[in-house]
């Protein structure tokens, strides 16, 4: 059954969300407002394990007939943890499960939007969500967000009232239209992958040259580096502080974002700072090992 043939899951109590790492915030509880919020606030969300289709199927069986939708991010990016790419079979399996149960597949593209592909992050796997949320990349710094929905949800979306003081500002909306047009015109996604490749390959070579064990995970457009086996982020905090002292701001516990504004020369100068920062951390590493 395609998403267009189906009915919206009215009156169903159960959204499924990904079980996250212990310290990660839960976007659904923290950020959703409107229909379904009572269910989420009352703890009626059931949690599956990312990339584990059997954990989703088990919940669907346990709550037969109650499934409203599955909330999922295009890959796993809990703050402070190594990132985990999606298994395409998991993405396709979620689509199938939602289709079989007349439930909605809800993709959180707030961070990933326009960074994995121009037509939606799971387009490459042939998976189309029923709802997807967008923000950061569409506004290029302006405060704007969007929810894209399948036609089948249009009536439901129009049936409840929501508003806000700044929701109808024209400037962020024009900025979003211009950003999206420029991203398409200049093939921004390919540019970000190329700059991300330059950065990540450089970081890998540098860490290896100092014999520092690092994990670099996630797509090239949104990499995250961690020092292997470190749970308290102490080396990561030291490395990012050394980078900051050299004018480069990289987050110690959050994935990073490549930008279309970054040139090859910009990334090369970032790599000068990261190399020196690795050098300083290597001294601490050898002290810690003594």
Ligand X SMILES: Cc1ncc(COP(=O)(O)O)c(C=O)c1O
Q: Using CB under 6 A, list all residues that contact ligand X.
A: 27, 31, 73, 108, 110-111, 135, 145
In the complex with ligand X, the residue whose CB is nearer, 132 or 274, is 132
Closest distance of CB 109 from ligand X, Å: 8
Closest distance of CB 108 from ligand X, Å: 5
Work out the burial of residue 290: count CB atoms within 10 Å of its CB; fewer than 13 is exposed, 13-18 middle, 19 or more buried: exposed
CB atoms within 10 A of CB 174: 12
In the complex with ligand X, the residue whose CB is nearer, 145 or 157, is 145
In the complex with ligand X, the residue whose CB is nearer, 119 or 143, is 143
In the complex with ligand X, the residue whose CB is nearer, 210 or 256, is 256
**Which residues does 44 contact at the CB level (< 8 Å), separation at least 6?**
13, 14, 15
* DSSP-H helix ranges across 88-220: 88-100, 136-139, 154-157, 170-185, 188-209
Tell which residue, 247, 231, 234, 243, has the closest CA to residue 274: 243
Closest distance of CB 204 from ligand X, Å: 26
Q: Which residue is nearest to ligand X (CB)?
A: 110
CB atoms within 10 A of CB 287: 8
CA atoms in the 13 A half-sphere facing the CB of 276: 13
Work out the burial of residue 162: count CB atoms within 10 Å of its CB; fewer than 13 is exposed, 13-18 middle, 19 or more buried: exposed
In the complex with ligand X, the residue whose CB is nearer, 31 or 204, is 31
Closest distance of CB 183 from ligand X, Å: 19
In the complex with ligand X, the residue whose CB is nearer, 4 or 31, is 31
Closest distance of CB 22 from ligand X, Å: 18
For tokens 């395409």, name the residue.
88
For residues 92 and 161, is the Cβ–Cβ distance under 8 A?
no
Closest distance of CB 32 from ligand X, Å: 9
In this structure, the strands spanning 131-134 and 224-227 are unpaired
Closest distance of CB 163 from ligand X, Å: 16
In the complex with ligand X, the residue whose CB is nearer, 3 or 73, is 73
């Amino acid at each position: 059954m395609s998403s267009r043939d189906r009915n919206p899951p009215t009156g169903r109590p159960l959204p499924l969300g990904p079980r996250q790492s212990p310290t990660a915030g839960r976007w659904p509880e923290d950020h959703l407002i409107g229909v379904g919020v009572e269910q989420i606030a009352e703890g009626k969300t059931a949690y599956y394990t990312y990339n584990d289709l059997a954990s989703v199927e088990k919940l669907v069986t346990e709550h037969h007939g109650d499934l409203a939708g599955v909330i999922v991010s295009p890959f796993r990016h809990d703050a402070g943890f190594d990132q985990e790419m999606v298994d395409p079979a998991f993405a396709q399996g979620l689509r199938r499960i939602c289709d079989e149960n007349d439930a909605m597949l809800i993709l959180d593209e707030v961070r990933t939007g326009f960074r994995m592909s121009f037509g939606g992050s799971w387009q490459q796997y042939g998976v189309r969500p029923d709802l997807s949320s967008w923000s950061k990349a569409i506004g290029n710094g302006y405060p704007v967000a969007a929810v894209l929905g399948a036609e089948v949800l249009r009536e439901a979306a129009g049936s409840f009232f929501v508003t806000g003081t700044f929701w109808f500002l024209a400037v962020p909306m024009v900025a979003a239209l211009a950003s999206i047009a420029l991203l398409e015109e200049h093939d921004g996604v390919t540019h970000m992958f190329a700059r991300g490749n330059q950065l990540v390959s450089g970081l890998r070579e540098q860490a290896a040259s100092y014999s520092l064990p690092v994990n670099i995970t996630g797509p090239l457009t949104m990499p995250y580096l961690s020092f292997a086996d470190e749970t308290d982020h102490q080396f990561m905090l030291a490395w990012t502080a050394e980078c900051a002292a050299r004018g480069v701001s990289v987050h110690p516990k959050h994935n990073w974002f490549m930008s279309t504004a970054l040139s090859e020369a910009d990334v090369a100068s970032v790599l000068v700072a990261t190399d020196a920062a690795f050098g300083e951390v290597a001294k601490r590493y050898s002290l810690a090992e003594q």
